[in-house]
Structure 1
């Protein structure tokens, strides 16, 4: 199968998954790429926060996140070895490789990455502290479709 045929087949499959309501959008180099979330990832990670699309961090960052689950940003998010391997492999396979996420952000935080800071430079410090927002990592406070992996500005609602 040629790369073009394979690519077309992937697009068709992604469209079908979207129609079934299991696909999530991730932004990649300005293009919208549909990526179904790994069910284990959705189950484990979205239980506490938005299941961030894997393209938001490079593979090295996801490896550090998965290696430090017992101290996951102040919380013990430990998982059994099989689940760590399954999620880690999926994250590494789908990690960001495009220009905006090549660099490993400070403290492996999406909110400290250069592209995130640049995209949110107009958000005031007061907005980040609003009770409805609380922090930059609470994407769903402003991005109404963040739970679907879609962070488009068309679906943006800044709390007052």
Structure 2
């Protein structure tokens, strides 16, 4: 019986590989709208809560842009991000994202995380510079289901 369950699970992941790399997507409409105005609304499970807290506290200099918004909106989005963060509600994907990050580290770029770098290390630098990609942070350029939390190895 146990062997059948293991085989069924293995078959399911082989038949539907995207299930193996699913990350809980952002479902809050205000977070999707505010973050999605300039870039994909990244899944909170990719960073620890302390990172989202710091990021939301310095929106006037958000990677060189002013992303400041009304305090009540900032707090709502901060709450969404922190509740779904890698170390608070990110589940299995969050646990994987935290690998190699010190308990006091406050990473702000998902692209600089050890897991991201390991998963993308085989990609040539010229690929990141293609007009349809342009940035390592442009997940949907290569992962068509990224906004829904699906990251296959395409």
Output the TM-score relative to the length of structure 1.
Answer: 0.71
Find the counterpart in structure 2 of residue 95 from structure 1.
85
1:82-139, Cα deviation, whole Å (9 max, x unpaired): 0111110111111012433332464x10000001000101111111111111110111
Are 1:80 and 2:70 counterparts? yes
Q: How does 1:6-155 map to 2 (within 5 A)?
A: 32=22, 34-35=24-25, 37-97=27-87, 98-102=94-98, 103=101, 104=105, 106=107, 108-153=108-153
Q: How far did 1:36 drift? A: 5.1
User: Over aligned residues, Cα RMSD in angstroms?
Assistant: 1.9
Residue 148 and residue 44 in structure 1: after superposition, are their counterparts in 2 closer, same or farther (change >3 A)?
same
Output the TM-score relative to the length of structure 2.
Answer: 0.74
Give 1 or 2: higher strand fraction: 1
Given that 2:25 and 2:148 are in contact with CA atoms closer than 8 Å, whether structure 1 keeps it comes out as no
Secondary structure of the residue that 1:37 maps to in structure 2? coil
Partners of 1:74 and 1:66 lie apart in 2 by 14
Secondary structure of the residue that 2:136 maps to in structure 1? coil
Partners of 2:81 and 2:26 lie apart in 1 by 12
Q: How far did 1:37 drift? A: 1.4
Partners of 1:132 and 1:118 lie apart in 2 by 22
Q: How far did 1:35 drift? A: 4.5
Partners of 1:100 and 1:34 lie apart in 2 by 13
Given that 2:22 and 2:149 are in contact with CA atoms closer than 8 Å, whether structure 1 keeps it comes out as no
